[in-house]
Amino acid sequence: MAAVPTSTTPGAAPARPRGARGALRRLTPARVLFFLIFLGVPLAIYVVFVVSPFLQAFYYSLTDWRGLSRAPQFIGLENYVTLFHDPVFLKALRNNLILLVTLPLITITLAFTLAVLVTVGGDSRGAIRGVPGATVYRVVSFFPYAIPAVVVGILFAFVYSPNGGLLNGLLQAVGLDVSIGWLGERRFAMAAIIAAVVWSLVGFYMVLFVAAIKSIPSEVVEAARIDGAGRLRLAVQVVLPMVRGNVSTAAVYMGIMALDMFVFVNVMTPTGGTGKSTEVVSRYLYETAFSESRFGLASAMGVVMALLTMAMAVLVLVISRGKDEA
């Protein structure tokens, strides 16, 4: 969506300047007012509430700021040094990186598989179609996306509860006598949180992929079939490359999500879990800032995660573009 000035429509007389896009030709008072209101008001809100906090965060990360009582002292990179010697921060960072790998991988694989089944998984003869009932599956799978993350967290805290929780209940119903506190045990807590996140997001990406797959020209899929491609090859070698753009967009979104995770972790394991087994940087940042008033240190954590997020996004986009050229 580059801002290239568009040429006039063919019918328009060449001598006449372009219409509204010619803009500032005549600066009438009415037009100045128009610009002030239409551009000025939204931008003022954006600058005050979004741009300036981000810029200030970078500055605070270089200070020892601990609240309003004392003016912040500039201490250079000391906060960053402190951070990388803090075992809890390193543990949290490690957990975020584990999430960064597992969460997109599981979600996208599952979402893509389901999307393929509902779009091209049906009969191999005749027109390409999904399995019967595809619409119902798609609508139902999307449900969890409409549920706020906090509620998903609370819901799954109940599901995983050691007493009367749904998961233990189901396991007992099939004959396994367990009463595990899934979120309380180091071994299971992170996996349990990942499962809840996957549950809530698969439907959204499935719908995204369904739309992308439907926009593939049917000739392409049919040609592959005539050439004898089985369903697995069709999905992996024909459909997947054609929706690669959507897959990498999904990977970036999921990556941003995995480097945040504040809501899920905060609701399901409010203190970062047993032995910090589910601690993530965003929750640790929140605690450092608003319980311990170490705002400078907390800002440094935010900056580290912001840089990591951007590096991740660039990496994913470069990899997917690199494949385009290959």
Partner 1 sequence: MSTTTTGRATEPAPAPAAAGSSPPRRRRPRRSVGDRVFGGVSQIVLALWALIVVIPLLWTVFSSFKSTRGILTSPFALPEHWNLDNFVRAWNQAGIGRYFFNTVLVVGSALVLVMVLGAMCAYVLARYEFPGRRVIYYALIAGLTFPLFLAVVPLFFILESMGLRGTYLGLILSYVGFALPFTVFFLYAFFRQLPEEIAEAAAIDGAGDFRTFFQVMLPMAGPGMASVTIFNFLGLWNQFLLPVVLNTDESKFVLAQGLANLQAQQGYRSDWAAMFASVTITILPVLVVYLIFQRQLQGGIGPSTNK
Residue 241 touching partner 1 (CB under 8 A): no
d(CA 139, CA 117): 14
Long-range contacts of residues 258-262, Cβ cutoff 8 Å, at least 24 apart: 258/96, 258/99, 258/100, 258/103, 258/104, 259/96, 259/99, 259/100, 259/305, 259/308, 259/309, 259/312, 260/305, 261/96, 261/99, 261/193, 261/197, 262/286
Tell the smallest beta-carbon distance from residue 87 to partner 1 (Å).
21
Taking the complex as a whole, how short is the minimal distance between the CB of residue 159 and partner 1, in angstroms? 6
Distances (CA, A) of 212 to 87, 113, 142, 215, 321: 43, 13, 16, 5, 18
**With binding defined as CB under 8 A, does residue 22 bind partner 1?**
yes
Under rule CB under 8 A, how many of the chain's residues touch partner 1?
A: 136
Q: State which of positions 254-293 bind partner 1 (CB under 8 A).
A: 256, 259-260, 262-263, 266-267, 270, 282, 285-286, 289-290
Of 40-69, binders to partner 1 (CB under 8 A) are 41-43, 45-46, 48-54, 56-57, 60, 68
Nearer to partner 1 by Cβ, of 73 and 218: the residue is 218
Residues numbered 133-172 forming contacts with partner 1, rule: CB under 8 A: 133-151, 153-159, 163-166, 169
For residue 141, how many other CB atoms are within 10 A of its CB? Answer: 21
Closer by beta carbon to partner 1, 132 or else 275: 132
Environment class of 318 (CB within 10 Å of its CB; exposed 0-12, middle 13-18, buried 19+): exposed
Is position 76 an interface residue for partner 1 (rule: CB under 8 A)?
no
Contact with partner 1 (CB under 8 A): which of 189, 201, 202, 265? 202
Q: How far is the CB of 108 from partner 1 (least distance, A)?
A: 15
